Each structure stands twice: as structure tokens, then as C-alpha cells.
Amino acid sequence: MAVSRRTIRAMDEGGWIRHMFEIGIQMKKLHGEDKVYDLSLGNPVMEPPQQFKTRVKELASSPSVGMHRYMPNAGYSWTRTAVAEMLESETSIPFTANDIVMTCGAAGALNVIFETILNPKDEVVIFSPFFGEFTFYIENHQGCPVIAPTDYSFQPNLEALENLITHRTRAILINSPNNPSGVLYPELIINKLSSLIQQKENQYDTEIFLISDEPYRRIIFDGAAYPHIFRHHNATIAVHSHSKDLAVPGERIGYIAVNPEYTEKAPLLDGIISWNRSLGFVNAPAMMQNAIRTLQGISVYVDQYQRKRDYLYDQLTGMGYDIVKPQGAFYMFPKSPIDDDTAFVAALQEWNVLTVPGKGFGSPGHFRISYCVEDRVLEGAMEGFARAANKFGL
Amino acid sequence: MAVSRRTIRAMDEGGWIRHMFEIGIQMKKLHGEDKVYDLSLGNPVMEPPQQFKTRVKELASSPSVGMHRYMPNAGYSWTRTAVAEMLESETSIPFTANDIVMTCGAAGALNVIFETILNPKDEVVIFSPFFGEFTFYIENHQGCPVIAPTDYSFQPNLEALENLITHRTRAILINSPNNPSGVLYPELIINKLSSLIQQKENQYDTEIFLISDEPYRRIIFDGAAYPHIFRHHNATIAVHSHSKDLAVPGERIGYIAVNPEYTEKAPLLDGIISWNRSLGFVNAPAMMQNAIRTLQGISVYVDQYQRKRDYLYDQLTGMGYDIVKPQGAFYMFPKSPIDDDTAFVAALQEWNVLTVPGKGFGSPGHFRISYCVEDRVLEGAMEGFARAANKFGL
């Protein structure tokens, strides 16, 4: 047998998004690129902002000696300082470069964090619907994912959570704005969640990390503010990626920010830096670290995403779809008109519309639409959505 | 406790190279950059070749639409094709893009491979001296490293190996040219090793991978040829990184090449591609994939490394040091004049010469010199080596 048992399991279970991606490639070959309305992938068609392109061009045109060499595993001090200064300006908490570790995107960051903090069988709570890869990231490091429910508006159900936190709970992982629902957790929820965590820490005499995966932090609509986690709980770690806010997901650049006031931050950061190396990431890509240094706080096309959200939400609710209105990211997670979300997604494919079944996010009975696409793709998909609504009696 | 038990163990055990790196930073602050002779790191001071710089400048000056987006997790088809064509031209084996997966360097590649093939407690044989991170890469995926000895010239000791291969042996990992010894395994050794593997596969009715970690493949001296593994064994995987041959270790770009004739290559490659995503690498950095596409087969400064090797070897053997003459890479692994290699390395520090104890490579009683440094650093270190030779009675 060429591969391990876990690999066989992973191939069976995982990869709904990737599966749709492959179906999309086949359909585009069959019907022509412009006849397929692919809303399955979180791969922004938007180009990176001009500032990014200019910065990369500067770096490439006047390369400095040593700019492609290894640097300390935590990343360049100047980039970490730039991130710390931005975070300080946003949170009024005195971050320094020492609180920041540059990573290969948020995916790399989360793997490094879980390897650093998890003992075998430690539990990590995630809220459904969730990004499907989270369960891999936890299990990669011997942890056990525990799925907690959300309420009708995809906000954490704290009553249910209370019963799911045990003496084995090592971390609660949140992701707001959320993939796949697009909902933003308000400050009040973060606050209540943190209080519950502290109550349980006291009850079990344990330490529970609040980890916030924030790749969509800068894609927020309707003028909402982003509630940072740091003031609410001591053992907090935030993870950011520039995949979405600078539209460079192929470049794998992000960071870990540890709460500067976290009581045991020295061993935590030492561990994170060490595992950044020994899990095989070694360091975040050098040129990209230098590129994003001067681009902290920039985000692309938020207005355009909001406009697309409005269009899609108005159209689909007009057809009778049941949708929690997203306040961020570029996803929408409508209820499937029929219980079997896989069957519904397959039906949409008859009209060349590609989406992802909710079961890929731990929430069957829904489907995810990714609207980081051109307007013509969104508009082109409307006929399929209308026909499906009709067919299934909305 | 902020971190896991494994993290505490890792911080205690690992990171000799990193430890020397930190001592180096302190010493340079204390004595001045030009008074410290740092031979501890495999971080080439050579700049990338002009072709690399030109290529990156082209990409940055005329960015194509979508060039920073996600691509399939295996990497760009055009880059994989370029790698396959180069490998075909070197090996006369018909590689195609489907046999290649682009990775975040060799470190990322090895982690992906071990996650794909190892069941818990599977054994992976490595030969001492070895790159210290190998044990992490194996244990990260529930494998058990088994250390096999080499002979007086750091070639695999096949008699000893025969007794170390068990029914649990899943892979043999070789690294030639070797870090830290610089020795190159000749074709005859690869052949005998492969025969032994096949004999043991038959004996135990198991499959044993031969995995070749080849970041130094293009840094070979004295006109030696590089013996590829593929013809010698069916279940073979080679791993390459451009960190050393293009002198861009900070950029994390490399690849996995699976033997095109491997009987079960479809599930193996599916697993590798899937774990490339789910271990958190997602894909090799996009811009670097495009950069190295046109740079296959290029290598930097091999003549200069050979000249540095000759200088260092002649000087040190002249002082009485006992050294196996390296045939590649940019390392030398002399015998420590005293049994305690840590004490000897500490003594060298008195003369501002930084090296790494052999115990960091599983071979106490030796020390590693990394000579990918400027000539003035090598020359400056000679006084320290001479005094140490004197002090310890060589």
C-alpha cells in the first residue's frame, strides 16, 4: 500500500472545495470558460493593489544583498516591527516585534500553533459551519476537534458551548468574518465567550487559549468595527494572512500575533518559532516578507465586495432563498432548499453554477457561495439559482 | 503550562545550529562583525545568479493577471513540466508534470512525504551524521527515526544496516551530497543499498521507500557525476530545493519527484498533493514557482565552493586535523581533536571561530564547518583552528 491509513481517510473525507475545483476545470473544458459560473473557490479574481505591485517591482529592480537568504525563523525584525506597529495602532496594546512571528499564511500559522500547544488528545473547539481544513490542522498535531453549534444567525451558541468545554479543552478557535457564512462576531459575543472560557479555566484549573483566525479581518461591510480579542482574554493568539486583503493567496504570507500581555509568552513564542522551523515551513517567504512590510493596513476592494454581497443577497432572497446576511469576507451560506445539500449543489451544476455543499463545512443543509468573482459570473449564475428555486419550490 | 510536552522536549534537544546562530549574533555585537568567523550556518553568502534576478525583475515588471492567486496545490503545470523535462534530460526516464509536486523547499517536501506514507510507529532509517531536523520531520508524522551508522568515510555501512531494517521499516532516507559531511554516495553504494532494500522487502513482504534528499545535488566537485536513485529501486522519491543551487533559501521553493515507474504512483501523488495543502503549506510560493521555471539546471558558484573546499581541506589537514575530503555541498566534518566535541567547539569560540558540534548531527566526536562564506572569513578562521590544533596537541 503506497500510502498511510490516515492518508486514505483524508482522501475519502476531505477536500470538498478541491473536489468542486476539479469539477469546475472539467466543466469549463466542456462548456467553455465563459459558460461556467464558478462560485466554489475563495480565490479572489481581484488583482493585488497597485501598492503591492509597485513594492514587488522595487524589490526586484534594486535587490539588496542577502535579501533571498535565510533570516531568523521568526522573520525579519523590520517586518515584525511593522506588523506590531499596525496592531498597536489598531488595538492600543503595546505590541513589539517580539510578539509577532511571520508565517506561511494562516494555514501554516495554525499548524505551528497547534503543534506548539497541544498534547495528544487535547481538544480544540470549533464552531460549525467551519473551514473544513480546521479539522486537519488540529488532528495533524494529535488534537481532537470538538464541533460546537451556532445559532440561527451563525453566532456561537454559548449555552451549548458551556457543556462542550471539558478539562481536555486546550483552545477555542474562532474565525470571524467567517468562512463560509460571512458573519462577523460582535464585541459582545467575544466578551461573553471570553468570560465563559475564564469560568471554565477556573472550574478545571486549566489554561484555554482563544485563537482567532482572521484572514478576512479587513473585509468588513456596513462600516462595522473589528473587535480584537486581546483585551478580552489573556491567553489569546491571532492569526492573519495577506491572502485575501492583498489578494495574494498563492504567495503564502501571514503572521501570528501573541497577546503582548499573555503571562507565559516567552515559552509560547519560543515554541512557535521553533516549530515554524521544524514543521518544515522554516520561515515565511523572504521577498514577500519584505513586500508586505510597507503594506500593513491596506485592503483591496472592500467596496466592491460589499456591492457584490448586496447584489447577490437581494437577488437570492428575492428568489426565496433563506440567507443570513454576511457582514464580511466574500462568502454567503444560504439554506439549501432541500435537506440534501449535495443533491442541491449537483442540481445547480445542471445550469453550470458551481457552489460547495454545506457538509464540507460541517453544516449539511446549506451551501456556500464564494462571490470573489467578476460581476458577469455572478450575473450569469442568477438564471441557475432562479431555476433551482423554481424546481425545488421556493 | 503554555506549551506541550513535545515542545518542551524539542526546545531542550533540538536546534544546535540555531543555538550557534544566536551565539554568533551575540559575538558579532561584542567583537564586531568582521572579527567573528562564523562557519556555523548553511546560509550561502553568495548572491543568486544573475538569471534569477533578471527573471524576478521580469515577473515584477510585467505581472500577468492572476500570478499571485492560488493555483492547483501541486503547483503550476508549466513549472512542473519544466522540472520534468530537466529530470528527463538528466536521467533519460520519461518524467511528466504529473510526477512532480512543487513544495515549500525540501523541508516542506519531506514533511509532506512522511505524512503521506507513514503509519504510527513506522520506522525511517537515516544515516549518521545527519541533518538534525530529519528526526523532527519523521516524528512530526508519528514515525520513528532509526539511526544507521556510516563507515570511516561516512558512506552507509550496509552490513550494519541489514540488521536495522525490520518489518516496521517504511523508508530509508539518504542525503547525498551530505550535510554535514559533504560526502557523495557513489552509484555503487546506491545500487547495493537498493539491492538490500529489495531483499528486505521480499523477506518481510513490505514496501520500503528509498527517499533521496538532494538540495546539494548540483554542488559537486572534481567532475563527479550525480547518481540518481530512480533506476535502482521502484519505490523512489527524490526531493530537491533551490535553496542552495540558486542561493535563495529564504524563499522556500523546491519540489518532490516521484519515480514515473513507481507501481502505485497515483495514490502516492494524490496523497502528497493533498497533504501539501492540509499540513498548511497549501502550495509553493507562486512567484518563486514562476521564477525557477526557466532556471532548471542552473547552479551557483560550484567552482568557488570547490576552491574554498580545497583551501580549507589543505589548511586544516596541514594542521593535523583528520578530515574526510568532501565531494560536494559546502560542509566539512572533521574529527574533533578531543572526544568532547561541544568542548572543542566552545574552545574554538575563544578565537571567535563558530562551528557546530557533531552531536547536533548524531555524530559526537566531530564538528561541522560550513564554508559557504567569504574568503576573508575562512582565512580569518585559520588562526583559531591553528591555535586549537596546538592547544589539543595535534
Q: Do A111 and B10 touch (CB under 8 A)?
A: no
Residue in B11, B111, B275 nearest the CB of A279 = B111
Give A88→chain B minimum CA distance, Å: 23
Q: Do A11 and B137 touch (CB under 8 A)?
A: no
* pLDDT for the residue B393: 86
Note the residue count of chain A. Answer: 394
Note the residue count of chain B. Answer: 394
Q: Got the DSSP string for B13-81? A: H--HHHHHHHHHHHHHHHH-GGG-EE-------SPPPHHHHHHHHHHHHSPPTTTTS---TT--HHHHH
Amino acid, res. B1: M
Residue A305 near chain B (CB below 8 Å): no
Residue in B2, B57, B285 nearest the CB of A264 = B2
d(CA A258, CA B265): 42
- Chain A's closest residue to B248, CA to CA, is A68
Q: Do A252 and B283 touch (CB under 8 A)?
A: yes
Contact B374, B368 (CB under 8 A): no
Residue in B65, B250, B286 nearest the CB of A69 = B250
- Helix (H) or strand (E) segment spanning residue B389: helix B375-391
| CA distance readout (Å), B195 to A72, B175, B189, B230 | 42, 18, 10, 13
Residue A14 near chain B (CB below 8 Å): yes
d(CA B167, CA A198): 49
Number of Cβ atoms within 10 Å of the Cβ of A297 = 12
Residue B44 near chain A (CB below 8 Å): yes
pTM, to two decimals: 0.97
Size of the A and B interface in Cβ pairs below 8 Å: 258
Q: Do A252 and B282 touch (CB under 8 A)?
A: yes
Give A269→chain B minimum CA distance, Å: 9
Give B46→chain A minimum CA distance, Å: 8
| CA distance readout (Å), B1 to A199, A276, B11 | 18, 20, 14
d(CA B163, CA A173): 47
d(CA A300, CA A292): 14
B245 phi-psi bin (left φ>0, alpha ψ -120 to 50, beta other): alpha
d(CA B336, CA B345): 9
- Chain A's closest residue to B237, CA to CA, is A2
Q: Which residues of chain A have pLDDT under 50?
A: none
Q: Which of A314, A317, A313 is nearest to A337 (CA)?
A: A317
Q: Which of B21, B41, B69 to mutate to test the interface with A (most CBs of A within 10 A)?
A: B69
Q: Do A56 and B60 touch (CB under 8 A)?
A: yes
Give A352→chain B minimum CA distance, Å: 21
Neighbour order of strands in the sheet with A367-370: A331-332, A367-370, A356-357
d(CA B120, CA A6): 10
Q: Which residues of chain B have pLDDT under 70?
A: 13-15
d(CA B160, CA B86): 36
Q: Which of A311, A216, A227 is nearest to A254 (CA)?
A: A216
* pLDDT for the residue A297: 86
d(CA B281, CA B65): 23
Residue B249 near chain A (CB below 8 Å): yes
Q: How, if at all, do strands A254-258 and A100-103 pair? A: antiparallel
| DSSP label of A358 | G
Residue-wise pLDDT for A67-105, tens only, equals: 999 999 999 999 999 999 999 999 999 999 999 999 999
Q: How, if at all, do strands A236-241 and A254-258 pair? A: antiparallel
Neighbour order of strands in the sheet with A144-148: A100-103, A254-258, A236-241, A209-213, A169-174, A123-127, A144-148
Residues 6+ apart with CB under 8 A from B302: B218, B219, B220, B221
Amino acid, res. A12: D
Residue in A57, A235, A274 nearest the CB of B10 = A274
* pLDDT for the residue B87: 98
Contact B259, B234 (CB under 8 A): yes
- Helix (H) or strand (E) segment spanning residue B380: helix B375-391
- Chain B's closest residue to A4, CA to CA, is B117
Residue in B117, B250, B275 nearest the CB of A68 = B250
Residue A372 near chain B (CB below 8 Å): no
Q: Do A60 and B61 touch (CB under 8 A)?
A: yes
Give B6→chain A minimum CA distance, Å: 7
* pLDDT for the residue A14: 62
What's the complex ipTM? Answer: 0.96
Helix (H, G, I), strand (E, B) or coil at A258: strand
Q: Within its chain, how far is the Cα of B377 from the centroid? A: 23
